[in-house]
Amino acid sequence: MTSPIDIEGGGTSVVVDGDQQPKSKPEEAKQLEGRSPGQLMWIRFKRDRTGVISAYVVIFFFVVGLAAPLIAKLYGKDPYTVFADERPELFDSAGVPLQPNGGISGEFWFGLEPGNGYDVFTKLLYGIRNSLMISLAVTVATVLTGIVLGVAAGYLGGKPDQLISRVIDFLLAFPSQLFFIASMPVVVSLFVSPRDETPVYVRVVALIAVQWVLGWMSLARILRGTTLALREREFIEAAKVSGASPVRIIRREILPNVVTPILVQSTYMLPNFVTAEAGLSFLGVGIVEPTPDWGQMFSKASTELVMQNDITYMFFPGISMIIFIVAFNLLGDSVRDAFDPKTAR
Amino acid sequence: MGKGGRHAYAALSLLAAGALVLTGCSSGGSKGSDNDKQDKENAQRQQAGISFGDAKDSTGPAAELPGAKPGGTITVLQRDSFAHLDPGQIYVSDEMALSQLIHRGLTAYKATSDDGKKHEVVGDLATDSGTTTDGGKTWKYTLKDGIKWADGSPITAKDVRQTFERLFAPFISNGPTYIQQWLANTPGTEYRKLLPDGPYKGKHLPDSVLETPDDKTILFKFKSAKPDLPYALAMAGYSVVSAAKDTKVKYDKSPMTSGPYKISEFKSGKTMTLVKNTNWDPKTDAVRHQYVDQFNIEFNKQFEDSTKAILDDSGANATAISFSNQVDAGNLTKVLADAALKNRTVSGYQPYVGQMNINLSQPEMQDKTVREAIAYALPITPFVRAFGGTDAMEVAGGLISPTVSGYDPKFDPFGKKAKPAGDPAKAKELLKKAGKTGLKLTFGYINTPEGQQYSTAMAAGLEKAGFDVQRQEIPAETYYDQVSKVKNNYDIFHTAWGADWPSASTVIPPLYDGRQIQDGSSNYSHINDPKVNADIDKANTITDPIKAAEAWNKINEYIVKDVVSNIPTAYYKQTQIAGSKIGGLAYDDVIGGVDPRRLFVK
């Protein structure tokens, strides 16, 4: 693999590193010779304290999401139990917890949800799990589509480029939020059988599909531009002259050079998908009760019943989501800085 | 009267995020209130029986209210604009409340106690509540002297004839149809054949049906006994229409009025102004007062908006009230917990009774043991919670409302009052006995925030008993259209129904008569039981109101306990609030809300 970015990035960084700490670790100078851009990025990233803390926070959220069933089992409750009927002594007749602060107690750590009295702690765990899984799936799908179409458009040029670019323009012109709201019920109804309840997976698949269809364009555009620039570089010319097939050129020469925008873009995209998914569920077209979901907890928190009687409830989905989104965005910044330290911010 | 999607208790607020910053921690729920007992007493007085008043009871003026004084302006905050002003088109409760002030009929309900809770039917334009000599087949009404339209012309028997004949015209499509069906002696919409064009093409109802021998006398002649006629005539939909000023379709926008107030200005969807009608003579009216100079009605006020404005209680808000809006579910607990605010509220029953219909057309639902298992398992508490707790909903035992004659508070065959969260153990046993454990149960629910909330918890309760519940959302706008189709996929679904007058004859026949099962009919559970059908025919002929009430209640008990096609869920209640300077505030069970006729400014 011959990559100009390798040489450029690696070269600069070696000099910078050397300048900064020439005396403290002289023996490292030898090892520096063999560093890959990945390793360099990793070293730069580790120095960024904000980035590392954000990464830990993000990892924590993913671990919590993955381990939600385990935690719920240890905690001894699930998010589907209607505690307002199981433990009526804890609620008034409107389903508002009698204890202050939404019924927070040693038994119910985050309190109980006004209305049906679901356990807020497990509901939040499962909500994080479901929202993150959906957003992760959307991100993977959009990144793959973006790579395939973006790189293809940039490398092939001509008619295919025209076609893909017009499709991108067309889809970008769509009012996506409105389209989500309008199309979600339609997509869901395509799968519903007359006797059965709409299964949760249909809603999940529909959410992923709708966000995927309208989510891949920005990445594809960036990759098209990058590929377009790379295509004219000497090393690609050289590969062409030496008789490499287009597939080999894309795989071995172009893709390694677009890893940076892909990684940076996807760390920006994921939190966006999380908020978009929460927004859809908030508006009632995404995940619906009783399946736990982050956005749906917001919509519950905004009802008059909760607003007037139990504002504490709002803090749990609210604060957890703010922390997650801020941490993920900071992580995205750090990743970008680590890959491309020269870009001024 | 059916219950559509007119009641939205909670609304989403997009400002939620802001409140997070502004408000600290919350204080937890309330322990309920003592309103329950009072409501029940009121209802019992109601169902003790409404008598038919004589000429003395029907003579005006209405008794003065203690402390009442004339003058002042009242602001009325309403959610929906009035779609209809033509009496023949009025069938929804907020228009009915308005018509108490502007329209008059042959009979009316007179509050006989000062809190406006006890009633009798008296003559309004007529000298009494009606006389019959042959057990209810022929009814005679005589008009009072000195009754006038708002333009000063006298109200005559000709106007009354016009009122009833025009109900057969095709453009009258929204009002009640009881009297038309009785006159034509046919069920359904067949009655229009009696006078297809109304009175507008020179044809009239024959004297064998409706006779007006002179300017003062009206005779109704039915083929079979109709003992409920005085009740029916008191409906707003049968208020009188001026023969001289009948503008057909246009009458709906600017009707001739006869009540103590007339419309001076109406901007549909925005405002309406009511001023005193100087041609209304209090001596001719036993039920209405004319204390206030003016009513300023404002529309598009959601429950939260009207509640907030009235709680504010400054300036014009101190004399503000709403005829139809109730205290929104979110503010209800707060309002009832504060003694000063609670003094400004009135609470009572709405006419509606909620019920879970079991669709008897579904093959799996034919098994009575399965239906009993559903009845035992179904938790009612989710429903009560979703609408704001026991101040808004009361767990029901039977299908007859506390506001209707014949209500029996002790009737509760499935123990719902003791175990409102359901009895899953007993249901499980029954389901096992039927060999149907794990039975798939399709539950159609109305897709509103409340519907989503209660349906999930109800499904959880039914699943504890061993059902496999499949919830299916139905859009709120078309909910009643979908569930009233004979071929629908739902095993269970929830509906509500309100009596048109305090007799179960407006509840049992429309809901449980098996002979009228068709698309769009209100027999939602498709019950077609020969005993029920026969008993309905029998009860319809009983002329003594007390005995009739007993007969209707027997049918109700048979349906709930022995057929198990409808599981009663809750009696709808509401709490309304008024500004601190409003006097004469009373909750009227017949109107199902604040009585607008007796309001004054303190």
Residue bearing tokens 């306990």: B561
Please answer whether residues B511 and B480 qualify as being in contact, where contact means their C-beta atoms are separated by less than 8 angstroms. no
Write the DSSP symbol of residue B110.
Answer: E
Of B26, B333, B455, which to mutate for an interface test with A (greatest number of A Cβ within 10 Å)?
B26
Mutation site for B-interface testing, chosen from A80, A90, A92, A93 by largest number of B Cβ within 10 Å: A93
- B218-233: b (≥16 Cβ within 10 Å) or e: bebbbeebbbbbbbbb
Please answer whether residues B370 and B364 qualify as being in contact, where contact means their C-beta atoms are separated by less than 8 angstroms: yes
A292/A188 same-domain check: yes
Q: Could you give the strand order of the β-sheet that contains B51-52, starting from the edge strand earlier in sequence?
A: B51-52, B119-123, B107-111
- Condensed to tens digits (0 to 9), the pLDDT of residues A90-122 reads 888 888 888 888 888 888 889 899 888 899 999
DSSP-assigned letter for residue A67:
T
| Per-window interface: A 179-238 vs B, CB < 8 A | 194-198
Name the 3-class secondary structure at B207. Answer: coil
> Got the DSSP string for B279-346?
T--GGG-SS-----SEEEEE----HHHHHHHHHH--GGGGGEE-SS----HHHHHHHHH-HHHHTTEE
Those residues whose C-beta lies under 8 Å from the C-beta of residue B499, and which sit 6 or more positions away, are B1, B351, B401, B403, B404, B506, B507
CB-CB under 8 Å, B385 with A312: no
* Each residue's pLDDT tens digit, B55-68: 888 887 888 888 88
CB B379 within 8 A of CB A84: no
Rounded CA gap, A247 and B596, in Å? 82
pLDDT at res. B238: 94
CA distance A268 to chain B (A): 23
C-alpha to C-alpha distance for A90 and B69, rounded to whole angstroms = 48
Sign of the four-CA dihedral B561, B565, B568, B569: positive
Closest listed residue to residue B19, CA positions, set A325, A35, A308: A308
Per-residue confidence (pLDDT) for residue B548, from 0 to 100:
86
Residue A278: inside a domain: yes
CA distance B375 to chain A (A): 16
* Token pair in block for residue B31: 């322990």
Chain B touched by A302 (CB under 8 Å): yes
Round to whole Å and give the CA distance between B524 and B513. Answer: 10
Tokens of B252: 């709906």
B359, pLDDT greater than 60: yes
Q: Please spell the DSSP secondary structure of B40-57, one letter per residue.
A: HHHHHHHHT--EEP-TTT
Q: How far apart are CA A337 and CA A344, in angstroms?
A: 9
- Report the chain B residue with the minimal C-alpha distance to residue A301: B16
Residues facing residue B141 across a β-bridge = B218
Query: Is the residue at A53 inside a domain?
Result: no
pLDDT given for residue B86 in this prediction: 92
Among A34, A102, A55, A49, which residue's Cα sits nearest to residue A326? A55
When CB atoms are compared, the residue of A290, A299, A305 closest to B330 is: A305
In this structure, what is the dihedral angle of CA atoms A119, A120, A126, A127, given to the nearest 10 degrees? 140
Find the CB nearest A115 among B27, B30, B385: B385
A116 in B contact zone (CB under 8 Å): yes
Q: Has residue A67 been placed in a domain? A: no
Residue B16: how many CB atoms within 10 A of its CB?
20
DSSP H or E segment with residue B123 = strand B119-123
Among candidate residues B405, B438, B462, B459, the one with its CA nearest the CA of residue B590: B405
Say which amino acid occupies B144.
K
Task: Give the tens place of pLDDT for each residue, A281-340.
Answer: 888 788 888 889 988 898 888 887 788 778 889 899 999 999 999 999 999 889 888 887
Separation CA B217–CA B221 (nearest Å): 13
Q: Are residues A7 and A143 in the same domain?
A: no
Specify the 3-state DSSP secondary structure of A46.
helix
- Residue among A116, A302, A313 minimizing CB distance to B13: A302
What is the per-residue burial (b if ≥16 Cβ within 10 Å, else e) of A166-182?
A: eebeebeeeebeeebbe
Helix crossing, A200-213 with A259-282: angle to 10°?
130
Q: Do A197 and B470 touch (CB under 8 A)?
A: yes
- Sequential DSSP letters for B456-481: HHHHHHHHHTT-EEEEEEE-GGGHHH
DSSP class of residue A19?
A: H
Q: Which residue of B has its CA nearest to A99?
A: B28
**Angle at which helices A120-156 and A200-213 cross, to 10°:** 40
Interface touch A299/B12, C-beta < 8 Å? yes
| Alpha-carbon dihedral B526, B530, B532, B534, rounded to 10 degrees | 130
DSSP output for B372-411: HHHHHH--SHHHHHHTTSTTTEEE-SSSS-TTSTT--TT-
The closest alpha carbon to B578, from B563, B565, B596, belongs to B596
Residues A268 and A162 in one domain: yes
User: Where residue A31 falls among pLDDT bands split at 50, 70, 90?
Assistant: low
**Residue A39 sits in the same domain as residue A172:** no
Specify whether A2 is located in the same domain as A137.
no
Q: Does one domain contain both A209 and A317?
A: yes
DSSP state letter for B562: I
pLDDT tens per residue, range B543-587: 777 888 889 999 999 999 999 999 999 999 989 999 999 998 999
Phi, psi of A238 (to 5 degrees): -60, -45
- Residue A185 included in any domain: yes
Sign of CA dihedral B25, B31, B34, B36: positive
d(C-alpha B586, C-alpha B594), whole Å: 6
Element (H, E) at A164: helix A158-172
- Classify residue A60: in a domain, yes or no: no
Minimal C-alpha gap between A246 and chain B (Å) = 52
Sign of CA dihedral B311, B315, B318, B319: negative
Of B26, B384, B469, the CB nearest to A310: B26
A10 and A158 share one domain: no
Please check whether residue A142 lies inside any domain of the structure: yes
Tokens of B119: 């009633």
Q: Which residues contact A291 (CB under 8 A, 6 or more apart)?
A: A130, A200, A203
- What rounded mean pLDDT belongs to chain B? 86
pLDDT in tens, A182-196: 887 777 777 766 566
Q: Do A85 and B328 lie within an 8 Å CB cutoff? A: no
List pLDDT tens digits, range B445-466: 988 888 888 999 999 999 999 9
Positive or negative, the CA dihedral B588, B590, B592, B593 is negative
| pLDDT number for residue B503 | 85
- B10 confidence band (pLDDT: 50, 70, 90): very low
Domain assignment of residue A249, yes or no:
yes
- Which tokens in the block code for residue B92? 């929804």
* Higher-scoring residue by pLDDT: B138, B40: B138
Mutate to test the interface with A, among B304, B385, B443 (most CBs of A within 10 A): B385
Give the DSSP H or E segment for A241: helix A234-241
How many other C-beta atoms lie within 10 A of the C-beta of residue B62?
17
For residues B329 and A305, is the Cβ–Cβ distance under 8 A? yes
- A279 CB within 8 Å of a chain B CB: no
Q: Which of B240, B82, B71 is nearest to B161 (CA)?
A: B240
Identify the pLDDT of residue B87: 92
Do A281 and A141 fall within a single domain? yes
- Residue A202 in any domain: the answer is yes
Non-local (6+) Cβ contacts of A67 within 8 A are none
Are A43 and A136 within one domain?
no
The band of B36, judged by pLDDT with boundaries at 50, 70 and 90, is low
Q: Does A42 share its domain with A158?
A: no
Categorize the per-residue pLDDT at B38 as very low, low, confident or very high, splitting at 50, 70 and 90. low
Of chain A, the end-to-end C-alpha distance in Å amounts to 31
- What does the pLDDT read at residue B43? 52
Least CB–CB distance from A195: residue in B329, B457, B489: B489
Nearest by CB: A304 against B28, B304, B381: B304
State phi, psi for A231 to the nearest 5 degrees: -55, -35
A290 — contact with chain B (CB < 8 Å)?
yes
Binary contact (A314, B29; C-beta < 8 A) = no
Q: Which pair of structure tokens corresponds to residue B322?
A: 């709403």
- Provide the whole-model pTM: 0.78
Domain count, chain A: 2
Residues in A touching B489 (Cβ below 8 Å): 194-195
pLDDT-above-90 percentage for chain B = 47
Tens digits of residue pLDDT in B459-487: 999 999 999 999 988 887 788 888 888 88
Q: Do B385 and A195 touch (CB under 8 A)?
A: no
CATH code at position A264: 1.10.3720.10
The parent domain of residue A3 ranges over 1-17+33-47
Q: Are residues A43 and A144 in the same domain?
A: no
B181 pLDDT exceeds 70?
yes
DSSP A322: H
ipTM: 0.76
Side-chain half-sphere exposure of B349, counting CA atoms within 13 A: 32
B49 vs A322, higher pLDDT: A322
Verify that A136 and A6 share a domain, yes or no: no
- List all residues of chain A from 96 to 115 with a beta carbon under 8 Å from chain B: 96-103, 114-115
Q: What is the pLDDT of residue B45?
A: 45
